[in-house]
Structures are given as structure tokens and as C-alpha cells.
């Protein structure tokens, strides 16, 4: 299957600082990428849909000024957690699809464990 | 609106026994259904999908799923469970009302296979 690479896999940062997470589609072009947040042993919560060359679409309740998403190319989307606080500590996962059409599966990055101290 | 439900938070089976992880769906059109598996501190791995065609879908690692339109179900199955199958399993449906085609996930089922 297609490969989605997410970096870093783990990051610890101080409260008040910003952290950038990268999501790359390695062997396909992704016009759309998705960013999720996951709490322990819970389902994935979609934060936003990242569209190449345009603004991201955020889900209700997600602060767009806090979670900045940039999708500058067909193979890279970034999520920046600005002014991070301990409550932002979580597991963040990105996913991408390589084709349009409802039948194609999404491929996921390996996730980023963010710990804010 | 599209939704999926996984009625069991946890499923326990003995190694070598068959396993079933349940999923029911609700869609307003043709369903596009997916199963994913997640190991600890990892992203999700695609197992299989149902788009159209045969109701029995075969996927990775010996897993299969049966699409049942009358019961609106898409249960994941494996004839003989392995300890290494222990993980978190997610059923998902494509949101046909969303331009990006986002996936809507069930709450997940933790599968535990004991030796």
C-alpha cells in the first residue's frame, strides 16, 4: 500500500512553545490530507481537512489559530500546535488518499506523541 | 448522515479460535466501508474495504469481512486468531456529504487474543 510518513514520532516541549508536525505522502500525490487527534484507547477525532493550495477546513470546536495547518504541496502537510499547553498533550495522526473517488482507502502516518510539560 | 457503531469495547478470544469484531453502519446512499487496525503508539493500518461486488471481502493478515445489507453490518472475521492479532480495530465509513471524503470512525474495539 501507499506510504505516509509522519515526523516526529515523539516530541516533548515546554508550555508556551510551538511544535510542528509533518506529514508526507512518499509515493503518491495527496490533494487532501486529514489531521486527527486521539486520546488513549479512544477513537480518532478529526481536527481538520487539509487541502493543497487552499485553507484547511476545521471541524467544529477546533481552534484554527491554535492548530495551524499548511498544505503547500501535493506531498506535504504540516500541523503546528501554537502556544502549546499540557492539555494539548495527545497522539496526533495524519492520513492521506492518493486518488479522488469514494472507494479509495486512506493511508495513515505512524502518529506523533506530543507531551507538553 | 453517515455513521458506524462498534458495539463491543473489547473482545477476548483464545488463540486458534475464530474471532469476530462487530460493526454496524448507517448511510444515506451506497456504503463505502473500511476496517483498520492500530497497534500501540502507531498509526492505523488498512485491512480491507467494501465498495461493491461480493459481500465477502478478503483483506490483509487473513482477515475478512462480510457485508450484510439487510442487517446493515460489516463484521470483521478471522478463522483462527493469533496472539499477534491483539490490537485496536476500527470500522469506518466514508462521509459522502464531505467533499474531501473524510472517514467516520467507530469507537474502536480492543481485541485481546490469549495463548
Q: pLDDT for A20-58, tens place per residue?
A: 999 999 988 888 899 999 988 788 999 999 888 888 999
Contacts of A49 (CB under 8 A, 6+ apart): A32, A33, A34, A35, A56, A57, B98, B100, B102
Distance between CA B111 and CA B88 in Å, rounded? 6
Which pLDDT score, from 0 to 100, does residue A102 have?
66
Pick A42's closest partner by Cβ from B100, B103, B108. B108
Residue A81 has pLDDT above 70, yes or no: yes
pLDDT in tens, B2-12: 899 999 999 99
- For residues B93 and B30, the model is more confident at B93
Query: How do strand A112-116 and strand A10-13 relate by DSSP bridges?
Result: parallel
The verdict on A43 touching B (C-beta cutoff 8 Å) is: yes
The verdict on B10 touching A (C-beta cutoff 8 Å) is: no
Pick A103's closest partner by Cβ from B41, B51, B102. B51
Nearest Cα residue in chain A from B37: A108
Which pLDDT score, from 0 to 100, does residue A45 have?
93
Mean pLDDT for the stretch of residues A2-15:
94
Mean pLDDT of chain A: 91
**CA distances (Å), B60 to each of B55, B81, B85, in order?**
16, 13, 11
Between A and B, how many residue pairs show a Cβ–Cβ distance under 8 A? 63
The verdict on B34 touching A (C-beta cutoff 8 Å) is: yes
The verdict on B84 touching A (C-beta cutoff 8 Å) is: no
Residue A112 has pLDDT above 70, yes or no: yes
Alpha-carbon distance A55 to nearest alpha carbon in chain B (angstroms): 13
Residue A101 has pLDDT above 80, yes or no: no
Pick A102's closest partner by Cβ from B46, B94, B108. B94
Mean pLDDT for the stretch of residues B56-84:
96
- Bridge-partner residues for A33, per DSSP? A50, A96
Sign of torsion, CA B59 B61 B62 B64? negative
Nearest Cα residue in chain A from B95: A102
Contacts of A34 (CB under 8 A, 6+ apart): A46, A48, A49, A50, A94, A95, A96, A106, B100, B102, B103
The verdict on B88 touching A (C-beta cutoff 8 Å) is: yes
Nearest Cα residue in chain A from B107: A43
- Bridge-partner residues for A81, per DSSP? A19, A67
- For residues B66 and A102, the model is more confident at B66
Amino acid at each position: 500500500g501507499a506510504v505516509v510518513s509522519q515526523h516526529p514520532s515523539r516530541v516533548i516541549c515546554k508550555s508556551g512553545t510551538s511544535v510542528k508536525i509533518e506529514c508526507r505522502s512518499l509515493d503518491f500525490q495527496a490533494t487532501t490530507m486529514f489531521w486527527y487527534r486521539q486520546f488513549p484507547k479512544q477513537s480518532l477525532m478529526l481536527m481538520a481537512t487539509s487541502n493543497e493550495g487552499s485553507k484547511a477546513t476545521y471541524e467544529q470546536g477546533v481552534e484554527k489559530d491554535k492548530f495551524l495547518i499548511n498544505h503547500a504541496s501535493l506531498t506535504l502537510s504540516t500541523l503546528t500546535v501554537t502556544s502549546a499547553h499540557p492539555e494539548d498533550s495527545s497522539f496526533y495522526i495524519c492520513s492521506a488518499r492518493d486518488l479522488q473517488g469514494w472507494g479509495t482507502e486512506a493511508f495513515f502516518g505512524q502518529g506523533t506523541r506530543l507531551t507538553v510539560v | 448522515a453517515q455513521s458506524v457503531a462498534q458495539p463491543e469495547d473489547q473482545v477476548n478470544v483464545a488463540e486458534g479460535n475464530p474471532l469476530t469484531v462487530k460493526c454496524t453502519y448507517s448511510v444515506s446512499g451506497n456504503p463505502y466501508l473500511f476496517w483498520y487496525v492500530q497497534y500501540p503508539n502507531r498509526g492505523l493500518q488498512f485491512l480491507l474495504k467494501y465498495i461493491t461486488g461480493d459481500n465477502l471481502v478478503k483483506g490483509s493478515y487473513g482477515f475478512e469481512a462480510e457485508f450484510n445489507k439487510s442487517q446493515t453490518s460489516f463484521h470483521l472475521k478471522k478463522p483462527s486468531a493469533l496472539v499477534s492479532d491483539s490490537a485496536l480495530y476500527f470500522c469506518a465509513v466514508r462521509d459522502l456529504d464531505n467533499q474531501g471524503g473524510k472517514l467516520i470512525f467507530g469507537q474502536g474495539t480492543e481485541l485481546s487474543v490469549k495463548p
